[in-house]
Amino acid sequence: MPSKPQRLLHEALPLVAQAHPTKVAVIVGGRAYTYAELAEQSRRLAAALQARGLQRGDRVAIYMDNTWSCVVAIYAVLQAGGVFLVVNPQTKADKLAFVLNDCAVKVLFCDAHLAYVYDKALGDVPSLTHAIVAGGDAVSPAAGAAPPAVEAWTDVLAGAEAVPRDAGTIALDLASLIYTSGSTGNPKGVMHTHQSMLFAAGSLIEYLRMDADEVIVNVLPLAFDYGLYQLLMAVQLGATLVLERSFTYPADVFKRLEQHGVTTFPGVPTIYSIILAAHSRKPLSFPSVKRITNTAAALPSDYVPRLREVFPNALVFKMYGLTECKRVSYLEPELADLKPRSVGKAIPGTEIFLLNAEGRPAAPHEPGILHVRGPHVMVGYWNRPEQSAQMLCAGRLPGERILRTGDWFHTDEEGFLYFDGRSDDIIKTRGEKVSPVEVENVLYGVPGVLEAAVIGVADDLLGQAIRAYVVRVPGAGLQERSLRRELNEKLENFMVPRDIIFVDSLPKSPSGKISKKDLT
């Protein structure tokens, strides 16, 4: 008899737990957790969510660091029939409240140490019925607010049933919302189904040549889809994930690589830059690593030979992707030296093509807008039909919708992709999308700022760096230090401009609008 096909993103977990209950699923904070523990705790938490009224399709926000609780919460939400969204723990209160209200979140998971942020948002989200706090005592919302029920994680788990009821989820139901910056300044939720995420994870596993023996280290936030998929792939394979909160302390991560025999290292150019700088001071070598992967910004070509010194047995995978379809392309590692600037070809099971400015297929070396076909393409943006229609256009088949990325590429004679630039003003830095409008809105809220304009400038490590041009109110004593302090209080770290340039005036168009194309 053939085995039951997997249709839902979380269905691999109980199968692995049954077949290999004592195998280590996640190592985090110096502790190893087995697949049996992950399956049991996520089941109990799923039952607890259902007991608190969670229905199929309800949204659940996970405002946590990379922790065991965050991992359990993701799989619990899926088993309960909900839709999870992981919110970057750097997110400030106003933006947190916006996201929670935007998709009418019903339950919020949060870390106790983030109480100073979520406490300000709890009373401003009418849809929120429960907040579950991990890592400390539950903290009540501010006085006078109309709060949801706030409970401690340990209490919720202790009082839960052992098994949730069948939620009735099918493959076309949403599994996750991944919030990304929008051109209006407000983030928008990218809708992915169980089908799209399961397909994407399988395609990645295929071209990365991964198996159940992998030990994957992840230093990227689970709110970033690149980090999230390290967890999803690990569970899909029945492999082991070494989960780190960040790459803030590289020496600690290096110890984990050696201690746990890590085989897969996903990173971005800024991380690899830190590794190479450390290598130049004291030679590093991690022979257990079989593959390193890169996305977000392009990996500088001169990094590849130097990274091979650090990871002597590793294949180097260069990739390109965007949240709206997870991954677009990858370059076979054997071609890294032959085509150092290319991001390769379409991932398995998908198709990509370029259309020029006239809408015709682009010839080799002719610039064209990248279009993507495949089961990994998003359903659209949550409650944003107009923006969804801009990104999802008519395909080649009747009724088909494909992804129009807005990014310019060209191909060589063999069909390999090369990135040329973006067609919108969204800044992609450190693997994150940043809306200039959002940063400008914060700048305009700082006393002493008369005008502001934010642009992205090319950066070999970041992809793009954020540069802010600021005109001060006449007579104002605003200085860069105080301005940065204000920005750090109101923006996530990756959104704070690298460069702040004070100018007497900003270039204007004939209609009086700030002309960003005249800024450098």
Q: Confirm whether 219 is domain-assigned.
A: no
**Given a cut of 50, is residue 511 above it in pLDDT?**
no
Q: Are residues 381 and 417 in the same domain?
A: yes
Q: Confirm whether 236 is domain-assigned.
A: no
Is residue 508 very low, low, confident or very high in pLDDT (cuts 50, 70, 90)? Answer: confident
- DSSP summary character for residue 403: E
Q: Pinpoint the alpha helices (H) of 340-413.
A: 385-391
Q: What percent of the chain has pLDDT over 70?
A: 95
Answer yes or no: are the C-beta atoms of 59 and 83 closer than 8 Å: yes
Q: Are residues 68 and 129 in the same domain?
A: yes
CATH, residue 389: 2.30.38.10
CATH, residue 102: 3.40.50.980
Q: Confirm whether 204 is domain-assigned.
A: no
Is residue 146 very low, low, confident or very high in pLDDT (cuts 50, 70, 90)? Answer: low
- pLDDT tens digits, 397-440: 999 999 999 988 999 999 999 988 777 778 888 878 888 878 88
- The alpha carbon dihedral of 266, 269, 275, 279 has a sign of positive
| Least confident among 31-40, 42-51, 129-138, 421-430 | 421-430
Q: Confirm whether 103 is domain-assigned.
A: yes
The H or E element spanning position 393 is strand 392-394
The residue type found at 267 is G
C-alpha count within 13 angstroms, C-beta hemisphere, residue 266 = 31
Residue 393 structural domain: 349-424
Is residue 143 very low, low, confident or very high in pLDDT (cuts 50, 70, 90)? Answer: very low
Q: Are residues 353 and 302 in the same domain?
A: no
What mean pLDDT, rounded, does the chain reach?
92
Q: Are residues 50 and 169 in the same domain?
A: yes
What number is the average pLDDT over the span 221-245? 97
Is residue 518 very low, low, confident or very high in pLDDT (cuts 50, 70, 90)? Answer: confident
Q: Confirm whether 135 is domain-assigned.
A: yes
Distance of CA 488 to the CA centre of its chain: 21
Structural domains in the chain (count): 4
Q: Confirm whether 323 is domain-assigned.
A: yes
Give the whole-angstrom CA distance, residue 311 versus residue 301. 16
How high is the pLDDT of residue 296?
A: 72
**Given a cut of 70, is residue 513 above it in pLDDT?**
no
How high is the pLDDT of residue 182?
A: 65
Answer yes or no: are the C-beta atoms of 65 and 112 closer than 8 Å: no
- pLDDT tens digits, 207-225: 999 999 999 999 999 999 9
- The alpha carbon dihedral of 74, 429, 418, 191 has a sign of positive
